[in-house]
Each structure stands twice: as C-alpha cells, then as structure tokens.
Chains A and B, each alone.
Chain A
Amino acid sequence: MQVADDLVFHKVCKMLEQFNVRNMTLTTDTDITGDLQIDSVAVLDLIMEVEDEYSISFPMNLLSEIRTVGDLVQAIHKQAGAQ
C-alpha cells in the first residue's frame, strides 16, 4: 500500500510535528520512538489524539505492531475500516 500521498499520512505528520524538535523530514519509514525520540508515554498520548481525530478505538494491544509512521497510518486505515 502506497501511503505517502495519503490524507491520513499528512494528518499523522501534522500530529507528530509537536515532537519533531530536530525538524526531520517525516516519511513512512520514520521510526516513531527511534528517530523522533518520543518517549513511550508520549506515544500513548498521541494515540489518544488519533482516536479522537478519527473517532476510532485504538487499543494499546495494537501498539507493539507499530514502529514507523507508515505502520501507524496503515493501522488507522485498518481500525477505521473495521468500525
């Protein structure tokens, strides 16, 4: 799935901007905790924002499968599609 020109991708990048203190160019391969150095609690807070933005439930159990921005975008599509 090509996600780079996807609206969800752009929205996620916007949400991540507050953490992007080193002004990295965000791509689908950007590692959320590794490259952006967001701590584990902040990632969970980001997920609550995602839930509210898309009115979806995003269980914590799914987080272990999400490493990159692309993973997050795909997971949002999946959750939004399932609900």
Chain B
Amino acid sequence: MDLFDKMAGLPSRHEQIVAVGQDPFGVRMDDMRSATEAVVEGRNVVLAGTNNYLGLTFDPACIEAAQDALGRHGTGTTGSRIANGTYAEHCALEDEIADFFGFASAMVFPTGYQANLGVIAALAGPDDYILIDADCHACIYDGCLMTGATVIRFRHNNPADLEKRLQRLDSKDSNKLIIVEGLYSMFGDIAPLAEFAEIKRKYNAYLYVDEAHSVGTYGEYGRGVAEHDGVLDQVDFVVGTFSKSLGSIGGFGTSNHRKFPYLRFASRPYMFTASLSPSNVASVTTALRRLRSDPSLKERLWSNARMLYQRLGDLGLTLAAPPGPIVAVKIPNQELAVRCWNKLLEAGVYVNLAIPPGTPNSTSLLRCSASTAHTPEQIDWIAEAFAKVAKELAKAEQRAVDQRYAVSNPAE
C-alpha cells in the first residue's frame, strides 16, 4: 500500500483514452499563431475550444499595455497583496471593476479559481449554510469545503428545488448563501437569475453569482447574466475571471456590501499568495476598457456563435443548450467522444473533450467556444470537420441498430 493507491484506477482509464489516438488531456500547442490558430504536431489547427470569447489574447492594445508594464514594473511582484505586492495598478484595476459593475468595491486574485476559493472561504463559516447549484465549477465546491459550512446541493437551474431545500433547513435564522453561475461552461446554458433573486429575497439569503464565462458575453454592457436578466442590483457578490473574455489570467470578486473589504484580512487565498504580475494587470485593465468602449466585440462574438450553432445544428448534431458563446455537442458515450475528438484534430480543429466526472449527468461532450476572432472561413473549416463527426456518429448508430437486430433475431 502506498500514497498512490488511491489513484490506481486513473492510469488504465487514461490508457483507454490514449489508445484511440492523441491524448486529449495532453495536447501541446507548439506555437500560437493568433487567438484562433495554433500549431499542434507540426500542423495548423483552428482553435474552437478556448474560452477566448472576445479574442483579446492578441489584441494589439492589450499586448502593448502588458509590454509597457513589463518594462516599467518588472516581471513579477514577488509578494502578497498585504505585503509588498500591492501596486497602484492593482488598486486601479479594482476600482475599474467595481465601477464596471456599479458596486462599492472589488478585489483581484491571481486566478479565477482562487477568486472563488478566496471569496467563499472568507464569507461562510461553520454556522452558515451554503446552497450550491449541482453543476457549479470545481473551485466553488473546493471553496465550500474550506468554510466548514453546511453545504447543500440543489438541482441544476431549478429554483423550485432550491426552495424545497431551503425549507428543509432546521436552523432558519442562520446565514444562507446561495451560489450559482451565470453561464455554465460545459453545456452553455444560463441560470434563471431573476427567479433565484426572488427566492433569495423570500428567504433572506445572500446571492452569489460566478460570471466567469458570462462577463463580456452576456448583458447589454457585457457585465454578465445578472445584467442580462436585469437583476444585477439584487446580486450580493459577483465573482469572475480574467482568463476568458479578458484574455489573461486572474480573477475578481465585487460587491456592494460595505464590509466586503474585510475580506482582505479574512481570505487566505487572497493573503497567502503573490499578487498578479504587472503585465497581467495591465493587459486585463486594457481588455476591460476595450470591452467597455467597443460593443462590436460582443456583437461579433454573438454573430459567430449563432453561425457556428446553426452550422453544427444543420449537421444533425445534438447541441446541449440554446445558441450562445458555448456550443457543446452531445456524444452518446465516452469512447465515441474520444474517437470523434481525434477525428476533429486530424481535420485541423481543436475542441474541448469533456467526459464524466467533469460533466453533469455522465454526459460526454465535444465542447466548442465561439470567438470574436473567428473568421467566416474558420467557422466553415470547423463545420467541415464536424461533418466528419456527424458521419462517424451515423455509422455508430447504424452499428448499434444492427447489433440490436442481431440480438432480437438470433436465428438469422
């Protein structure tokens, strides 16, 4: 018996997946040609699974701002926000985020993962209840575990189920924190936030929304699904990331609560880590300003998203949610999903392979994300590659039908 025994089942599962072709969890981008193109195994590949919704990773203004900060303030801060790691630019970015949401204050974190961990872990404690949507991201689950609070899951996007679970709580006077996401990363479906806000009011709870995938993609000004649903003023805490629409790395938490800045001395993932590097802060600040000043970024994303959705839908593929920046294709089982994923890569298209337990309801997905930076030719290219997937799926379905026929007619 050794420490690695608990992971004993993983290598064989990984080997099964790799036996089909390339390792979907070890793809190496040898060169990045643009926000939507990379070199993999010596070949140009169109990137259709990135979260680079606004295509800002190669935005000239963001690159210039990052290079300028790098030259002026160096490669890293080498310190925590509560020691030597707070630069004027960190504070300016926090002010800009708070202003963007119309909230009183904001805090930035080195990653989106740490933003959820840091805000949840500081807000809730052993005497509190947290109710989380079943499909919340792993970092929300991890943050909840750090609190010692009583954590109850409710059925995904189901306000009635949330209400049922709130009614069951035995201590009605305790603090109750409801955590949901705006846009869910795997299926691409959005939360019914107006209904959740209603329940929050009724039960005197707090509402926490992770808008990681929805900042820059939803809402008139790109503030997320809460803005889209007209309930941003009823959300107590918004958390988000810089590593998707804003094209860098890092995360934030923002709130209108007067005491939110207390978190600076209560949040361990905030205090006990070095702060964001100056070049990250600079590119994020510029990206946020680009998002605020250029509505065409979001308009072009949606036009590309609708085009991609339409093209994949026309192939007869099963799409997991209504049109949106995340277009996820459902595949009947993991083995087929891995095979189709390889077909796509061979055809010069990278998508995200998502399999259980990383997905809800044991679903296997080929997950695409649209980008403002996709050209019509690239969307054609992606759709042509998916036509091969559609053929593969049709063949698999025919095999299954033949097998069922053979089983029910053994004499033939």
Give the B-binding residues of A (Cβ under 8 A).
39-42, 44-45, 47-48, 51-52, 55-61, 82-83
Shortest CB distance A34–B (Å): 9
In the bound complex, do residue B168 and residue A57 qualify as a contact, i.e. CB atoms below 8 Å apart?
A: yes
In the bound complex, do residue A59 and residue B152 qualify as a contact, i.e. CB atoms below 8 Å apart?
A: yes
Contacts of B362 in A (CB 8 A): 39, 41-42
Contacts of B155 in A (CB 8 A): 48
Per-residue A-contact encoding for B169-196, CB less than 8 Å = 1, 0 else: 1100000000000000000000000000
Contacts of A83 in B (CB 8 A): 168, 170
Residue picked from B144, B149, B169, B357, most chain A C-beta under 10 Å: B357
Shortest CB distance B180–A (Å): 16
Contacts of B170 in A (CB 8 A): 57, 82-83
In the bound complex, do residue A57 and residue B150 qualify as a contact, i.e. CB atoms below 8 Å apart?
A: yes
Shortest CB distance B363–A (Å): 10
Report how many residues on chain B are interfacial, defined by Cβ distance under 8 Å: 22
Give the A-binding residues of B (Cβ under 8 A).
134, 141, 144-145, 148-155, 164-165, 168-170, 356-357, 360-362
Contacts of A42 in B (CB 8 A): 356-357, 362
Contacts of A52 in B (CB 8 A): 164
Contacts of A57 in B (CB 8 A): 150, 152, 165, 168-170
**Given A44-B153, A45-B134, A45-B361, 18 other A-B residues pairs in contact with their CB atoms under 8 A:** A39-B357, A41-B356, A41-B360, A42-B357, A42-B362, A44-B134, A48-B153, A52-B164, A56-B168, A57-B150, A57-B165, A57-B168, A57-B170, A59-B151, A60-B152, A61-B145, A82-B170, A83-B170
In the bound complex, do residue B165 and residue A60 qualify as a contact, i.e. CB atoms below 8 Å apart?
A: no
A-B pairs, top 7 by smallest CB distance, nearest first, are A39-B357, A60-B151, A41-B357, A59-B150, A57-B168, A40-B357, A39-B356
In the bound complex, do residue B134 and residue A51 qualify as a contact, i.e. CB atoms below 8 Å apart?
A: no
What are 20 A-B pairs at a CB distance below 8 A? A39-B357, A41-B360, A41-B362, A44-B153, A45-B134, A45-B361, A48-B153, A48-B154, A55-B168, A56-B168, A57-B150, A57-B152, A57-B168, A57-B169, A58-B152, A60-B141, A60-B151, A61-B145, A61-B151, A82-B170
A59–B126 CA distance with the chains assembled, in angstroms: 12
A32–B170 CA distance with the chains assembled, in angstroms: 28
Shortest CB distance B135–A (Å): 9
In the bound complex, do residue A60 and residue B153 qualify as a contact, i.e. CB atoms below 8 Å apart?
A: yes
Closest B residue to A43 using CB positions: B357
Closest B residue to A64 using CB positions: B145
Residue picked from B149, B168, B170, most chain A C-beta under 10 Å: B168
Contacts of A61 in B (CB 8 A): 145, 148-151
A27–B368 CA distance with the chains assembled, in angstroms: 43
Shortest CB distance A57–B (Å): 5
In the bound complex, do residue B357 and residue A48 qualify as a contact, i.e. CB atoms below 8 Å apart?
A: no
Shortest CB distance A66–B (Å): 15
Contacts of B169 in A (CB 8 A): 57
In the bound complex, do residue B168 and residue A51 qualify as a contact, i.e. CB atoms below 8 Å apart?
A: yes
Closest B residue to A33 using CB positions: B9
Contacts of B360 in A (CB 8 A): 41
Shortest CB distance B1–A (Å): 14
A41–B152 CA distance with the chains assembled, in angstroms: 14
Shortest CB distance A40–B (Å): 5
Contacts of B149 in A (CB 8 A): 61
A61–B151 CA distance with the chains assembled, in angstroms: 7
Contacts of A41 in B (CB 8 A): 356-357, 360, 362
Residue picked from A44, A51, A55, most chain B C-beta under 10 Å: A51
Contacts of B356 in A (CB 8 A): 39, 41-42
A39–B170 CA distance with the chains assembled, in angstroms: 30
A42–B358 CA distance with the chains assembled, in angstroms: 11
Contacts of A40 in B (CB 8 A): 357
Contacts of A44 in B (CB 8 A): 134, 153
A58–B154 CA distance with the chains assembled, in angstroms: 11
A26–B152 CA distance with the chains assembled, in angstroms: 27
